[in-house]
Amino acid sequence: MYPHERSLVKKMQGKPFVLLGVNSDPSKEFLRKVQEREHLAWRSWWDEGGKRGPISTRWNIHAWPTIYLIDGRGIICYKDSQGVQTHDLDKAIDSLIKG
């Protein structure tokens, strides 16, 4: 997933698009190492090292990765937690950006 996310950030540069991450890694230090190794250049939050952290609990996340596409008004326009299909995600992003 990280290679696709990196390509999205590059492709969407200069457009009204922001990628944010929430990670359930075992520790903040582990997350920092992943961010370095995978060259993750977007904002990412640590969800207290478990799959039932406060962020995943509030957003009702039960599978990783879970992807939400949220428009400028805060409305969820796309959600995938069944094994992200990058083509479907790209189509949803393109549709939202084109308005």
Is residue 87 within 8 Å of 95, Cβ to Cβ? no
> What does the pLDDT average to over 6-23?
92
User: Measured between alpha carbons, how far is 39 from 33 in angstroms, rounded to an integer?
Assistant: 10
pTM of the model: 0.80
The number of helices, as runs of H, and strands, as runs of E, in the chain is 4, 4
Of residues 7, 17, 13, 5, the one with CA closest to residue 97: 17
What local confidence, expressed as pLDDT, does residue 1 receive? 80
pLDDT digits (tens, 9 = 90+) for 43-66: 999 999 888 999 999 998 888 888
Question: What is the predicted pLDDT for the residue at 55?
Answer: 94
Q: Where are the domains of the chain?
A: 2-11+19-98
Domain 2-11+19-98 has CATH 3.10.105.10: no
